[in-house]
Structure 1
Amino acid sequence: MNTVRRLIFSTMITHVGFVTLAFSALFFFIDFVEELQDLGHHGYTLTNAIWTCVFLQGAHFYDLFPIALLIGGILALARMAQTSEFTILRTGGLGPGRALALLGILGVLAALLMVVVGNWYVPWSEEQLALHRAKFSNRQGLNLGHGGTWLRERREVLGKGFHNITVNVGSANSQGEFGLVRIFEFDTQGRLIRRVAAERAEVEALGDATTATGSVWHLKKVTDTRWLSHEMVGEQAVLDGSKIIAETHPDQLDWQSSLTPLVVSASVLPPETMSTLALWRYTQHLATNAQAAQRYEIEFWKKTFYPLVCMVMVALALPFAYLHARSGSMSLKIFGGIMLGISFVLINHISSHLGLLHQWQPWLAAAAPSIAYLLLSLSAFVWLVRYR
């Protein structure tokens, strides 16, 4: 049994590795050609272009590895069927259940690899890519668009009820450091009572970064404006029409908040590049503050179920080991299997958009394509074993 396991594993891993390497080389070349047009702009050199392509490989690998697993699996198993190796293994006692279990082990290992890549390597590479590109632009840090990104929280003020606080972040300079920060505080009646503007902010988590429930924002070069009631007027207050305003300009101001660095970083990054934990924490934050969270909930469930895609791809490849290679049209069958896998990837992406459009349950929109194709592949496998 160890010999059979080594033969199947080595054949599968070799073919999947070659297909993955071919896809990576192809996309590296495409990215490199695209980056060449920026050479010489703002000190952008050939070495910088290569590093940009290297950072892009993380997201490419995460998207393409399931397809590479399918194509490599089909090539490996079809070759074993064509050379009668798989037939000899079946004659030697390799039953359908044992073959499915062996490939299931490979599927589990591939799923674990996707968990590691999707939750650690892809977020890291996307962050490094954004910071790397920001060095060669006219602005400091990762620009978040004309309006920046907006966050919201509710805070209980002793004796005054709950105040709504809205935070605007204009750019992300690095992990936990943000630029062009504006904080607006509204009282229970919705009136603006305070505005804090800072050139940059360093967000420090209270406790462990992954489990923190609060943070301290170290604001630099601050303009702190307060709208005061008549009885609170002090020496620095000025009369602006019918409003009484007090404005100070401290070099540094510490502001405590429930917005942790993980939540802020999650709001800055596209949902596709966030880790599962960051997506979960951000959806909890949005739900707590009565904000629309379905887009991030769907992406959370997609990333949760994404390792199941590897199991689906392995299951789609297994029936090709039971095809009769001498019956002809093997290349056509392999092409059909590849197109089936590509169709799965397309439907998996379309399902999330349809779920967002029609307000489906997030877990259902994310899991339906994987479950449907897994059942389809297992049905084809049972049919081939029984009737062919």
Structure 2
Amino acid sequence: MSLLARYLGSQVMAASGFVLLALLALFAFFDVIQELGSVGRNSYGLGQAAVVVLLSVPGHLYEILPIAALIGTMFALARLVGNSEYAVMRVSGLSSWRMAAYFGVIGVGLSILVLALGEYVSPWSDQAAQRYKLSATRSVVAQQFRSGLWVKDGTSFINVREVMPDNTLRGIEIYGFDAAGRLGWIRAADQADWLGNQTWRLDSVTETHFDANGIRATRSTQQNWQSVLTPDILSVLLIAPEKMSARTLWRYVGHLKANGQKAARYELALWTKFISPFVIPIMMLIAMPFAIQGPRAGGTSRKIFFGILAGLAFHLLSRLFGHLGLLNDWPAILVASLPLMIFLAVALAGIRWMDRR
């Protein structure tokens, strides 16, 4: 890599890092304000709130890195223009397309970081934060294993093999223990549907009791079951599709299709994961025509403001196409990639305009 490329990279990375820290501090501040409303519930104090905020940091990093790269690139280039360094670069033979190639390489490097966060760190940390808060505020202890979701409810332990998108539970087993810690009964059901008022309706129930007289088994078609486990708690315990790893989404989409279930939301989240490595390079490219303008176009602050608007526009456009795609059953790959293609077209048109100036 040439000296000029390294210099551009250092300027952009430094500016993007500064913007990233500023945005991260802002998000953390809002998280602290939100968590203060839960302080005082059961054993949830300031220390527990701080742990939840820290565990939320990787998820925020994954979300704001593209915006930080956009604003950071715009800030760095605007400063180069203001110091006349950009003019010297152009006179020395640097074309707009070569600069775009440099930014593409830098963007790919940042995309690797985004991939690592989204695939390995963010899903775990988000789930850990929600479960930690749940156990502290509601005294509900829960953990997910290969055997399914496990929840402690008083002296009972609940095992749910599968939670469907409509909050229907499948493969439920409830283990009841007495005060001495001895297993007293096991209740197994094929399915559970939420009725409200902390009540579930169990279907195809088999109940086994253990006592001094031996083992007794009873069966019933339906049975009501009252539990601390509610759809609200399930929504906390089960990570949203947008925060799942690509591997988990791939397996879950295949599972839903194999069982005749709708998988549109999960397919959209999966394709969004697939195209996420291209977001940062395109954000950096679209920053170029905004930042590299003369003094008549406004100062650095105005250009950064336009950068923020561009980032918000991309986010809103993605959300809009996502909702429209789910409502109209559009192909997930089209819904996920269309906003990015629009911004890529705008970026390439802007770079072409720069090169002709």
Contact 1:322 1:385 in 2 (8 A): no
Contact 1:80 1:321 in 2 (8 A): no
Equivalent residues in 2 for 1:333-344, closer than 5 Å: 333-344=303-314
User: 1:366 maps to what in 2?
Assistant: 336
Q: TM-score, normalised by structure 2?
A: 0.76
> Does structure 1 residue 330 correspond to structure 2 residue 299?
yes
Q: Distance in 2 between matches of 1:26 and 1:132?
A: 23
Aligned counterpart in structure 2 of residue 378 of structure 1, from 334, 348, 351: 348
Q: Distance in 1 between matches of 2:172 and 2:35?
A: 39
The 3-state SS of whatever aligns with 1:38 is coil
Q: Distance in 2 between matches of 1:90 and 1:199?
A: 73
Q: Distance in 1 between matches of 2:316 and 2:10?
A: 30
The 3-state SS of whatever aligns with 2:150 is strand
> Does structure 1 residue 314 correspond to structure 2 residue 284?
yes
> What is the Cα deviation at residue 299 of structure 1?
0.8
Aligned counterpart in structure 2 of residue 198 of structure 1, from 149, 171, 174: 174
User: 2:4 maps to what in 1?
Assistant: 4
> What is the Cα deviation at residue 101 of structure 1?
1.1
Q: Distance in 1 between matches of 2:278 and 2:59?
A: 18
User: 1:102 maps to what in 2?
Assistant: 102
1:65-93, CA deviations, whole angstroms, 9 ceiling, x for partnerless residues?
11111111100011101111111112222
> Does structure 1 residue 248 correspond to structure 2 residue 238?
no
User: 1:210 maps to what in 2?
Assistant: none
Q: TM-score, normalised by structure 1?
A: 0.70
Instruction: State which structure, 1 or 2, has the greater radius of gyration over its C-alpha atoms.
Output: 1
Q: Residue 208 of structure 2 aligns to which amino acid in structure 1?
A: T
Q: Distance in 1 between matches of 2:78 and 2:52?
A: 37
Gap change, CA 1:16 and 1:175, over 3 Å in 2: farther
Q: Residue 28 of structure 2 aligns to which amino acid in structure 1?
A: F
> What is the Cα deviation at residue 110 of structure 1?
1.4
Contact 2:44 2:137 in 1 (8 A): no
Aligned residues: 299
> What is the Cα deviation at residue 338 of structure 1?
2.6
The 3-state SS of whatever aligns with 1:292 is coil
> What is the Cα deviation at residue 131 of structure 1?
2.0
> Does structure 1 residue 91 correspond to structure 2 residue 91?
yes
User: 1:178 maps to what in 2?
Assistant: 150
> Does structure 1 residue 54 correspond to structure 2 residue 54?
yes
> What is the Cα deviation at residue 321 of structure 1?
5.0
Contact 1:112 1:307 in 2 (8 A): yes
Q: Residue 329 of structure 1 aligns to which amino acid in structure 2?
A: G
Q: Distance in 2 between matches of 1:70 and 1:220?
A: 60
Q: CA RMSD in A?
A: 3.0
Contact 2:290 2:306 in 1 (8 A): no
> What is the Cα deviation at residue 249 of structure 1?
4.0
Gap change, CA 1:29 and 1:289, over 3 Å in 2: same
Contact 2:291 2:303 in 1 (8 A): no
Equivalent residues in 2 for 1:84-163, closer than 5 Å: 84-141=84-141
Q: Residue 15 of structure 1 aligns to which amino acid in structure 2?
A: A
Q: Distance in 2 between matches of 1:339 and 1:224?
A: 54
> What is the Cα deviation at residue 182 of structure 1?
6.0
Which structure has more RCO (C-alpha within 8 Å, separation ≥ 6)? 2
1:279-301, CA deviations, whole angstroms, 9 ceiling, x for partnerless residues?
01000000001111111101111
5+ residue gaps in structure 1? 142-171, 185-194, 201-218, 227-244, 252-263
Q: Distance in 2 between matches of 1:384 and 1:246?
A: 72
User: 2:195 maps to what in 1?
Assistant: none
Contact 2:58 2:122 in 1 (8 A): yes
Q: Distance in 2 between matches of 1:66 and 1:313?
A: 7
Gap change, CA 1:378 and 1:225, over 3 Å in 2: closer
> What is the Cα deviation at residue 134 of structure 1?
2.1
Q: Distance in 2 between matches of 1:46 and 1:296?
A: 35
Contact 2:184 2:209 in 1 (8 A): no
> Does structure 1 residue 274 correspond to structure 2 residue 244?
yes
Q: Distance in 2 between matches of 1:315 and 1:76?
A: 13
Contact 1:111 1:310 in 2 (8 A): yes
Q: Residue 223 of structure 1 aligns to which amino acid in structure 2?
A: R
Q: Distance in 2 between matches of 1:302 and 1:96?
A: 29
The 3-state SS of whatever aligns with 1:223 is strand
5+ residue gaps in structure 2? 152-157, 163-170, 177-182, 191-204, 212-233
User: 2:187 maps to what in 1?
Assistant: 223
Contact 1:225 1:248 in 2 (8 A): no
Gap change, CA 1:84 and 1:320, over 3 Å in 2: farther
The 3-state SS of whatever aligns with 2:173 is strand
User: 2:221 maps to what in 1?
Assistant: none
Gap change, CA 1:224 and 1:99, over 3 Å in 2: closer
When structure 1 is superposed on structure 2, of 374-383 and 94-103 the one drifting more is 94-103
Gap change, CA 1:138 and 1:92, over 3 Å in 2: same
1:159-207, CA deviations, whole angstroms, 9 ceiling, x for partnerless residues?
xxxxxxxxxxxxx4244452323689xxxxxxxxxx863239xxxxxxx
Contact 1:198 1:222 in 2 (8 A): yes
Q: Give runs of ≥4 in structure 1 deviating > 6 Å.
A: none
Gap change, CA 1:321 and 1:3, over 3 Å in 2: farther
User: 1:356 maps to what in 2?
Assistant: 326
Contact 1:131 1:174 in 2 (8 A): no
> Does structure 1 residue 24 correspond to structure 2 residue 31?
no
Gap change, CA 1:28 and 1:182, over 3 Å in 2: closer
